[in-house]
């Protein structure tokens, strides 16, 4: 039966459920001013000053020939030599280096508080290049709650190179302690995790790993970006990104990144980047470099809007759980507060229904778009069990809680009230229509 309106603020379906679109008015009120938004950020790390300035100016010197304030795109595949053994301006061949790629890499490193940045053809390219730091006989430990593509890379491809891979639940430090072996050379994890939004303590993990020797700690920071979290500050060796997501923020580029401090790791990673050839085009580098200029203001909007929606969902009678570190009910909020300045626009929630309800919910949405990826200006929604994590084995998905009633959203830059109204009407369709 279809739901029918019985008042301007309360709706009822034939099954007798009362569903208020603004059941918790605080969820709609609290984000109405910057002051109130700041109050919701209390407890998280303070935002470091100078980030937005660095994004605009680091490695962005005006072009010398014409004085253009926007660094030009250099499309040349090869570059002139001054002599037989000396390049004219340190550039030789497009695969080895490009002025625009160099500009982007310098800016990425600065924003991360790192020394050396790398741009790759995709986020998976960055992860693959990092995995190639390992040699035959080495051991890689990965958190099992990772992006589906990463899980497939580590489970299907990396073992072919003679690298042993162990997946564990890193929420329990004892699991990590038991998994570390004499040949362990790398520990990899996302935080927050995808799609469960669990928060792993970076500093505690690094200290635990480093007790066992020179083991590289690699953190995928895609979900928060360097504006909200900087893993290098907590001892991580390599920070990885799908720059496609929040760092670019316009859903028009496929590009990945890596930032490191250690000169030895940087030298090896540069060699892999150049020889394997997992490089982005100059135009794609230009697009991401452009987008970094608005990253700070975009992330503030994502942060405020996603928390408002998460609070509204928390009070909805058909919602079982909301996985958002900004909520006090999140199990690892205390960890998030000590290593990040807030949370981004991506989070997940679970409803009381099944796959059919999830499908009806997604189909009924008018503002949210059913699509994978995240971090763009438009709001996206997906069912991880059927989309981003479809290739993950069923037993692993079940263990991780990636069930058919779990929905992941990426909140864009639209008005949050419009997004809440869209979710409200879609939930009514999903649970009150037969």
Name, in order, each residue with C-beta under 8 angstroms of 284's C-beta and a sequence gap of 6 or more. 253, 254, 255
How would you label 23-56 residue by residue, b for 16+ Cβ within 10 Å and e otherwise? beeebbebbeeeeebeebbeebbebeeebbebbe
Catalytic site residues?
95, 147, 220, 245
Measured distance CA(247)–CA(292) in Å, rounded: 6
Burial class (CB in 10 A: 0-12, 13-18, 19+), 213: exposed
Measured distance CA(3)–CA(433) in Å, rounded: 7
Measured distance CA(270)–CA(265) in Å, rounded: 9
Tokens read off for 204: 């505690």
Looking at residue 155, what DSSP letter applies?
I
Q: Are strands 184-190 and 216-220 parallel, antiparallel or unpaired?
A: parallel
Q: 3-class DSSP state for residue 263?
A: helix
Closest residue by Cα to residue 141 from 124, 175, 165: 165
């Amino acid at each position: 039966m279809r739901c029918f309106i019985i008042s301007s603020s309360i709706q009822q379906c034939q099954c007798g459920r009362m569903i208020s679109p603004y059941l918790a008015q605080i969820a709609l009120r609290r984000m109405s001013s910057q002051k109130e938004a700041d109050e919701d950020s209390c407890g998280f790390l303070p935002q470091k000053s100078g980030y937005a300035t660095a994004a605009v100016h680091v490695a962005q010197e005006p072009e010398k020939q014409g004085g253009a304030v926007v660094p030009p795109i250099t499309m040349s595949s090869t570059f002139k030599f001054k002599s037989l053994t000396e390049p004219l301006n340190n550039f030789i061949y497009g695969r080895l280096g490009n002025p625009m790629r160099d500009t982007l890499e310098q800016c990425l490193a600065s924003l991360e508080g790192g020394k050396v940045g790398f741009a790759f053809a995709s986020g998976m390219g960055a992860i693959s290049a990092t995995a190639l730091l390992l040699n035959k006989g080495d051991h890689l430990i990965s958190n099992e709650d990772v992006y589906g593509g990463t899980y497939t890379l580590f489970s299907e491809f990396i073992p072919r190179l003679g690298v042993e891979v162990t997946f564990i639940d890193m929420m329990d430090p004892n699991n990590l302690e038991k998994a570390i072996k004499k040949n362990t050379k790398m520990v990899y994890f996302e935080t927050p995790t995808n799609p469960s939004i669990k928060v792993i303590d970076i500093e505690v993990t690094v200290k635990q790993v480093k007790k066992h020797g020179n083991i590289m700690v690699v953190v995928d920071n895609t979900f928060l970006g360097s504006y909200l979290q900087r893993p290098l500050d907590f001892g991580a060796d390599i920070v990885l990104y799908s720059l496609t997501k929040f760092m670019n923020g316009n859903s028009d580029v496929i590009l990945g990144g890596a930032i490191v401090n250690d000169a030895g790791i940087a030298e090896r990673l540069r060699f892999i980047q150049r020889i394997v050839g997992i490089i982005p085009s100059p135009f794609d580098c230009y697009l991401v470099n452009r987008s970094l200029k608005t990253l700070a203001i975009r992330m503030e909007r994502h942060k405020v809007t996603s928390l408002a929606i998460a609070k509204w969902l928390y009070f909805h009678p058909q919602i079982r759980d909301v996985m958002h570190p900004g909520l006090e009910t999140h199990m690892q909020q205390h960890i998030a507060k000590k290593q990040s300045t807030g949370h981004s626009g991506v989070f997940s929630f679970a409803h009381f229904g099944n796959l059919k309800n999830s499908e009806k919910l997604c189909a009924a949405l008018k503002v949210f778009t059913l699509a994978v990826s995240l971090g763009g200006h438009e709001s996206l929604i997906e069912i991880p069990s059927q989309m981003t994590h479809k290739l993950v084995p069923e037993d692993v998905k079940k263990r991780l809680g990636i069930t058919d009633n779990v929905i992941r959203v990426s909140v864009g830059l639209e008005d949050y009230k419009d997004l809440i109204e869209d979710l409200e009407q879609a939930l009514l369709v999903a649970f009150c229509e037969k």
